[in-house]
């Protein structure tokens, strides 16, 4: 057998096989179990332990690329928060084009379903340039930090919730951040949560999974939702399966396929090497 061929399979064939392996479970769900990790449980519990009516600051710091991983987290957060009559104040510092819209769409969907009103129960402040400076100002004056308007340019005077939320220091109980990089956890930690000693939790793209472990260990981050898997676990905890859980079968099959090809490639490499050594 020509083992070297295993190392040089046409990449387009791999794409098609991986795509097929991911599409099939979407048509015929396998229902693979999703165990809930300790980190996801911590996120759920830190929100669950807040007093009813608390104000949660949610920053959806993402762009279109990683939105499929992070959007389900926002939906599940809105469901848990509104169930506890918590208020949500949102920002989106990563991408001015889609961040604020994604935040609005995913909270609005749940808000309408649960009879929550924009301006009373939640507000979207959107994107502001220079996240660090904006966060620093918002610590003591949210209105000044965002220029006195929400994401559509509507003055904050119009929203009863914003009469209550004047500064992060005094009026916000928890920061929930979903992020794909910078600005992200580190930025919020540096300028807001560490100086104010406020709890910080949230989720991130799985690309950041290894990079946040030390923040969890040191207690600076109260739990962590890792990518689509974390979103699926959080949806289970909130008790409302959504986009996260529906994608888990496809993701598991995708992983298995990647692993199989990884093994085949390595078998090909070692067999070809031993054959060459013999010759």
Partner 1 sequence: MEQLGYIVSSICILMAWSYLIKENALYTFAEHLLVGMAVGRGIAYTIEVQLTPRIVDQMIGQGRWSLLIPALIGCLIYFRFVKGYEWVSRICMAVWIGYGAGNTLAFNPATYMPQVFDSFFKLDSIDNIIYFFVVVSVLWYFIFTVKKDAGFGKQFSMIGRYALMVAFGSAYGSITMAYLSLIIGQLQIILRDTLHLVK
How long a stretch of residues is the chain? 279
Q: Which of 232, 224, 225 is nearest to 250 (CA)?
A: 232
The Cα 84–Cα 51 span in angstroms is 8
CB closer to partner 1, 64 vs 239:
64
CA 210 to chain CA centroid, nearest Å:
15
CB of 87 to partner 1, least distance (A): 22
- Specify whether the CB–CB gap between 236 and 212 falls below 8 A: no
Mapping DSSP to helix (H, G, I), strand (E, B) and coil, where does residue 118 land? strand
CB burial string 114-124: b at 16+ within 10 A, e below: eebebeebbbb
Answer yes or no whether residue 66 interacts with partner 1 by CB under 8 A. yes
The Cα 74–Cα 271 span in angstroms is 48
- Specify whether the CB–CB gap between 150 and 123 falls below 8 A: yes
Residue of 2, 153, 163, 278 interacting with partner 1 (CB under 8 A): 153
Answer yes or no whether residue 37 interacts with partner 1 by CB under 8 A. no
Q: Which of 218, 186, 104, 191 is nearest to 202 (CA)?
A: 186
Residue of 6, 22, 103, 165 interacting with partner 1 (CB under 8 A): 22
Answer yes or no whether residue 278 interacts with partner 1 by CB under 8 A. no
Q: How far apart are the first and last CA of the chain?
A: 15
CB of 191 to partner 1, least distance (A): 6
Q: Is the peptide bond before 202 cis (omega within 30 degrees of 0)?
A: no
CB closer to partner 1, 5 vs 214:
214
Residue of 55, 67, 137, 177 interacting with partner 1 (CB under 8 A): 67
- Specify whether the CB–CB gap between 47 and 79 falls below 8 A: no
Residue of 191, 202, 222, 242 interacting with partner 1 (CB under 8 A): 191
Residue of 1, 38, 115, 152 interacting with partner 1 (CB under 8 A): 152
CB closer to partner 1, 81 vs 225:
225
Residue of 163, 210, 277, 279 interacting with partner 1 (CB under 8 A): 210
- Residues 231-260 as x/- pattern, contact with partner 1 by CB under 8 A: ------------x--xx--xx--xx--x--
Query: What residues line the site for partner 1 (CB under 8 A)?
Result: 12, 15, 18-19, 22-23, 26-27, 65-69, 71, 96-97, 126-129, 132-133, 136, 147-149, 151-153, 155, 186, 189-191, 194-195, 205-211, 214-215, 217-220, 226-229, 243, 246-247, 250-251, 254-255, 258
């Amino acid at each position: 057998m020509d083992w070297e061929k295993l190392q040089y399979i046409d990449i387009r064939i791999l794409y098609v096989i991986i795509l097929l392996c991911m599409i099939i479970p979407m048509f015929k769900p396998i229902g693979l179990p999703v165990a809930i990790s300790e980190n996801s449980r911590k996120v759920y519990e830190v929100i669950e332990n807040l007093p009813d009516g608390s104000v949660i600051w949610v920053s959806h710091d993402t762009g279109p690329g990683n939105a499929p991983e992070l959007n389900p987290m926002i939906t599940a957060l809105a469901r848990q928060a509104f169930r506890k009559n918590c208020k949500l104040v949102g920002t989106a510092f990563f991408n001015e084009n889609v961040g604020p819209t994604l935040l609005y769409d995913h909270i609005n969907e749940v808000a309408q379903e649960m009879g929550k009103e924009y301006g009373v129960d939640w507000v979207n402040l959107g994107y502001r340039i220079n996240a660090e400076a904006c966060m620093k100002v918002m610590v003591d004056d949210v209105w000044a930090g965002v220029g006195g308007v929400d994401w559509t340019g509507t003055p904050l005077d119009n929203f009863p919730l914003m009469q209550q939320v004047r500064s992060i220091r005094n009026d916000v109980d928890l920061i929930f951040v979903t992020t794909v990089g910078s600005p992200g956890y580190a930025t919020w930690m540096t300028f807001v949560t560490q100086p104010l000693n406020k709890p910080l939790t949230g989720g991130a793209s799985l690309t950041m999974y290894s990079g946040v472990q030390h923040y969890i260990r040191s207690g600076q981050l109260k739990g962590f939702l890792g990518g689509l898997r974390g979103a699926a676990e959080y949806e289970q905890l909130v008790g409302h399966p959504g986009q996260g859980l529906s994608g888990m079968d496809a993701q598991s099959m995708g992983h298995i396929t990647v692993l199989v090809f990884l093994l085949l490639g390595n078998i090909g490499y070692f067999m070809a090497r031993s054959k060459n050594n013999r010759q």
